[in-house]
Amino acid sequence: IITFAWTQEPDTLNPYYTNMWFSTVLQQLYSCWAWEFDDQNLPFPKLVTELPTTDNGGVNEEGTVITLHLRDDITWSDGTPLTAEDFVFTWQMITDPGNTVSSVYPYDSFTVEAADPQTVVMTFDEPLASWQSALWKGILPKHVLQPIFDAEGSIDEAEWNVEPTVGCGPYVVDTWESGSYIRLVRNPDYWLGEANIEEIFFQFVPDDASQTASLIAGTADIGTFPPLSDVPTLQAGGLEIMIASSGYSEGLFFNFRENASPGARDVKVRQAVAMAIDREAINNDLLLGLTHAPETLWDPLAASGWVSPDIKPWQYDPEAAKALLEEAGWTDADGDGIREKDGEPLTLVYGTTIREIRQDAQAVIQQQLRDVGIDAEIPSWDADLFFASYADGSPCALGEVDIMEWSDSTGDFPDPDHYYWLCSEIPNDESPWGANYFGCDETLDALFQEQISIIDPEERAAVFHEITQIIHDNVYWIGMWDDPDYWIVSPRITGIKFSGVTPLYNILEWDVTE
């Protein structure tokens, strides 16, 4: 038995109803991806016999038809064969308007058919450059969910979403005690062979301090995202810190939609915020100098050439921030220390989760913004509400927050595509599943739509140079610190490796020494 201590609880166990990292990681134990990624973030086949390429005939010359050849020994945990029909059903559930999945993109850009039980054929309207990073992150069991969909016209309320007792991974979900733990047991009939570890517990703890305490005490074996200030203590306790590059960066996303405050919609205010925050000091003081502030969401991929070489970092310069606010008409007419314009005070709602390091950053940034005349309200929410959907009342999705802090990667790391920025991804009553909580920049939208069908890497990189420059210049996002996956691991666990894309990819090789 091994135990994970996690400060966040998954919001669902259906892979297509969440963008939450913790949910995605856990799914790798009971669900299955068509291909996974190793500790170098390189793809390898899982459900397929080989990765499709133009050389092996899996991808046609135009890049519009991709054929998957499935293994013939894959079964669901109840013994039912997993076939191409499950792929077709998964695509149908994602794209059916009766289901409020987290996003239909990019599944709405192609069709799927089962040529035979072991052959899946995808036909695209246009080439999809990110297909290898974007598709088939979990397959849904048709024989379990089809009757529910036929009866209700939706799988939104399917019990399987919280109790997926039938899966295709090395483990099966046994119990989810909400607020306490999730217990998984070894799948004795797993088609790649039995795992060494019999049971895996995911224990939910209230905060970072509780996670650290449980790891030091030995009541938990694995944790993640520790406060960096706790790293020396954890290492002194005999625990190993392992790092996986996952493309994540902690940052501030601005809401520039119509329901945002006037200040958040003003580009000069956003630029002033970027100059008012001393990011270097935050990295040195709160994160022990172990991190640095990225300039773009694509900085973890900068070596691949996706980031504009012309980007000039926003420097800490509160006097320049004040001058820019004056220029934009935000002045402190009544002398209370907070600027106003047209009778409207310059107040920004800056929200995040209750994670300790984020609340520490909130307090520092609130004071730095006040120093230049910006009033920042700093609410925080439990992660399950903060990261919830529009339909479930997320304050971010509803537009109640002007500055939203979280850690994010490109939409399908290690590919640079990021569908969050599409205008069509803005959630509303008619389309509650979108993930764009920021706003619609039509130029940016057109560039994102253009790049996704460009197969030539150099041509695609040129478009990303424009994308990264626009987001930087308009301050739609401010990078706070780089945020790779930090794992804390007990020495009793052997054979462990982590991927930044599919972290638990080699779970079959894990073992314990008592």
Per-residue model confidence (pLDDT) at position 77: 98
Per-residue pLDDT, averaged over 303-314, amounts to 93
Q: Which residues contact 175 (CB under 8 A, 6 or more apart)?
A: 181, 182, 183
pLDDT at site 195: 98
**Mean pLDDT score, 137-160:** 98
Secondary structure class of 17 (helix, strand, coil): coil
Confidence category of residue 513, pLDDT binned at 50, 70, 90: very high
Q: What is the mean pLDDT of residues 382-395?
A: 92
Average pLDDT over residues 288-317: 93
Q: What pLDDT does 269 receive?
A: 99
Which tens digits make up the pLDDT trace of 38-79?
998 889 999 999 999 999 999 999 999 999 999 999 999 999
What's the chain's average pLDDT?
Answer: 96
pLDDT value at 370 more than 80? yes
CB of 30 closer than 8 Å to CB of 164: yes
Question: For residue 182, what is the DSSP state?
Answer: E
Written as six digits, the tokens of 255 are 């809401």
Measured distance CA(160)–CA(13) in Å, rounded: 8
Q: Which residue shows structure tokens 């080439």?
A: 127
% the chain with pLDDT above 70: 100
> Sign of torsion, CA 236 239 240 244?
negative
Percent of the chain topping pLDDT 90: 90
pLDDT in tens, 152-192: 999 999 999 999 999 999 999 999 999 999 999 999 999 99
In this predicted structure, the answer to whether residue 503 has a pLDDT above a threshold of 80 is: yes
Both structure tokens of 231: 């790293």
**What's the pLDDT score for residue 228?**
86
Q: Give the count of beta carbons closer than 10 Å to the beta carbon of residue 269.
A: 26
- Supply the pLDDT for residue 96: 98
For residue 29, name the pLDDT band (cuts at 50, 70, 90).
Answer: very high
Q: List the domain boundaries for the chain.
A: 249-483
Contact 255, 474 (CB under 8 A): no
Residue 326: Cβ within 10 Å count: 15
Contact 427/285 with Cβ under 8 angstroms? no
| pLDDT tens digit sequence for 126-137 | 999 999 999 999
Own/partner pairs for 90-99, CB < 8 Å, 24+ apart? 90/16, 90/136, 90/138, 90/139, 90/140, 93/16, 93/140, 93/145, 93/149, 93/155, 94/16, 96/149, 96/154, 98/149, 98/153, 98/154, 98/156, 99/16, 99/154, 99/155, 99/156
CATH topology of domain 249-483: Dipeptide-binding Protein; domain 3 (3.10.105)
Query: Does residue 393 register a pLDDT over 90?
Result: yes
| Chain segment 314-343, per-residue pLDDT in tens | 999 999 999 999 999 999 999 999 999 999
Per-residue b or e along 148-163, where b marks 16 or more CB atoms closer than 10 Å to that residue's CB = bbeeeeebbebebbbe
What pLDDT was estimated at residue 430? 87
Segment 437-484, tens digit of pLDDT:
999 999 999 999 999 999 888 999 999 999 999 999 999 999 999 999
